[in-house]
Amino acid sequence: MSTKGFNKNKQMKLTIELVPSTAWYSNVRSNVTQAEWDVIRRACYKKAGYKCEICGGKGPKHPVECHEIWNYDDENCTQTLEGMIALCPDCHQVKHIGLAGIKGKQAEAIEHLAKVNEITLEEAALYVEHCFEEWSKRSEKEWKLDISILENKEDEKGND
């Protein structure tokens, strides 16, 4: 399938965020203690009112999961944490659609992506392919991790 028909300028509520393979397991959880991660994720859930910040839904076993929002500076190969967002398990599965594929759940993730964004399954599939092409290029590079936003949040707490 060619991504020629994919409109990369279309605004979507739910997007895919594939972490380059060279940056796998380099995230907030791998850089903080379990107790610190628990504080971070629970604050995220509470701020969102225990609802998905994208679709408003909740999961059947647990209402939401904490997702890290990253910005990728392709020129400087820096992966910068921009914040956290509470997502229902379905939206979180879309964010990590590569993992969904490994678990045999890619089709349902694509269906959820299409539904939330009000696009066709074909448009959703083109978008997924576009994201994997970008992931492939990014996975050729080594990435530096910038989670300094967490230090800034700690500083803000101390000044309250």
Where in the chain are the domains? 13-154
Structure tokens at 120: 């066709």
Contact, 84 vs 44, CB < 8 A?
yes
pLDDT above 90 as % of the chain = 79
Total-model pTM: 0.85
d(CA 33, CA 40): 11
Per-residue pLDDT for 5 more than 60? no
Nearest alpha carbon to residue 80 among 140, 19, 121: 19
Exposed e or buried b for every residue in 58-82, given b needs 16+ CB within 10 A?
bbeeebbbbbbebebeeeeeebbbe
pLDDT level of residue 25 (50, 70, 90 thresholds): confident
Mean predicted lDDT score pLDDT of the chain = 89
Which has the higher per-residue pLDDT, 141 or 25?
141
Q: Could you read off the pLDDT of 83-136 as tens digits, one per residue?
A: 999 999 999 999 999 999 999 999 999 999 999 999 999 999 999 999 999 999
